[in-house]
Copies of this chain bind each other. A is one copy, B any other.
Amino acid sequence: MEGATKGEDSVDQSSQRFAEALVRERVETRLAAAGASEASRGAAIRAMLHASLLGIDSHGVRLTEHYCRMLDGGRLNKNPQLRFEHRGAGSAMVDGDDGLGHYAAYHAVEVGMALAREAGVGAVGIRRSSHLGAAGAYALAGAEEGFVTFATTNTDAMVALHTGAQKFHGTNPLAFAAPVPNARPWLLDMATSSIPLNRVLLHRSLDQELPEGVAATPDGFPTTDPHAADLLLPLGGVDYGYKGAGLAGVATLFSSLLTGTTLDPDFIPMYGGTDISTPRNMGHFVLVIDPDKFAGSAVFGAAITTYLAGLRASTTRPGGKVMAPGDREWATLAERQTNGIPLDPDTVRFLDL
C-alpha cells in the first residue's frame, strides 16, 4: 500500500529546496517576531517540520505565514498557559488557552504517556485549541516513546455526507502510530475524505480531470470536473462513502463531542473569513496505550516485527509495490534530509530564503 496519505499535497518537485536547519531557523525567526512564546512556537516548529520533512507539505512550514497572521489578528494567544485537568487514572483534559494547537496537542501526548505508564492507557481530550497541523505528528510522538498512539481532530466542514449536498464534516484525520523495535514506527495518518481540498485546487489550476468519486457539485452530484467540484466526498466514494462519512464522525465524536468544543460546520473559517480575532475553540483527542500493560512489550515488539516482515514480503501484482503505513514518509524524510525541503515561492518569500 502507498504509505503516503498526503503525498498528493506535495509541492511541485521543481520547487527550490532548502536545508532543514535553515528552514527551521527562519520559521523560528518569523514566529518569534509574531510574538509566539518560546514554548508554543517550539511545538509549532516541531509539527511543521514533521510535515515538511515527511512530505505532507500542505501542513508544513508554508503555514508559518498563516499562523503569524492569526497571532497578529488575535485569534491565537501569543503566550498560552496550558492547563491540565486530571479526570481519572487514565483520563485528562488539556486546555490550550487558544494558543497554537501544536503546543496543546504535544502536551496532551505527554500527559497521555504519563497516564499510560501507570494506568496502561491515557485518553486525553483537548479544548480551546486551534489548528494542529498533521495529526500524525502526535501519534508519532507517542510511538517514538514506545506507545501505541491515536490522535484525531475535527476540522472546518468541507466534506459531504454520503449522498449529501452540503459541507458537513471536515477532512477529519485519523492518525495511528506504533513503535517497531530497531526501526521507524508504523505510522498511518489519513484524512477520512479520499483527497484534500488542495488536490481539487491543483486539478483546477491544471484543468485536469479528477478521479471518480472524490468530489461533488454543490448539489451533491459526483463529478470529475475540477471546476464544477465544490464538495469533497468521504472515503469509499460513490458506493461506500457511508464508511468514510462514519469515520469522519468518529473524529468529530472524539474531538468535539467528548470535549465540548466546536462542531465542524460551526468553525470560524480557518482561511478566507474576515474574523481573525476570535478563537475557534477547536478540540482534539489523543489516546496513548502502553503495550507493556497488555501482552507485554517483548511480545508486542516481536509480533509487529513479524507482521511487518510478512507485509513487506507479500506478493504484489506486476508493477505493484506494497508498503507499510509510514514507509513512504520515511523514504521522503531520508531524501529531504539529504536534498532539502522543497518550498513554494510564497513561502520562500515569507521566510526570506
A: residues with CB less than 8 A from B are: 1-3, 5, 87-93, 115, 118-123, 125, 127, 148, 161-166, 168, 174, 176, 178, 186, 188, 190, 194, 211, 213-214, 216, 219-221, 234-237, 239-247, 249-250, 252-254, 256-260, 263, 265, 287, 289-291, 293-296, 299-300, 303-304, 306-307, 310-311, 314-325
Contacts and interface: CB of A to CB of B under 8 A. Distances in A.
Main secondary structure of the interface of A (DSSP, over half): mixed
Given A162-B322, A186-B253, A235 B242 contact: no
A168 B311 contact: yes
Nearest to A237: B237
B90 A306 contact: no
Contacts of A263: 303, 306-307, 310
A250 B152 CA distance: 14
A316 to B, nearest CB: 5
Nearest to A176: B250
A290 B88 contact: yes
Contacts of A214: 239
A314 B162 CA distance: 11
B88 A178 contact: no
**Pairs of residues from A and B, 6 with the lowest C-beta to C-beta distance, nearest first:** A91-B120, A88-B120, A90-B90, A220-B317, A163-B320, A260-B295
A127 B165 contact: no
A243 B190 contact: yes
Contact of A303 (B260, B291, B319): B260
A290 B307 CA distance: 32
Contacts of A93: 294-295
12 contacts: A1-B162, A88-B290, A91-B120, A121-B122, A162-B322, A163-B320, A163-B322, A164-B315, A168-B311, A194-B239, A219-B317, A249-B325
B316 A163 contact: yes
B320 A164 contact: yes
A29 to B, nearest CB: 37
Contacts of A304: 253, 257
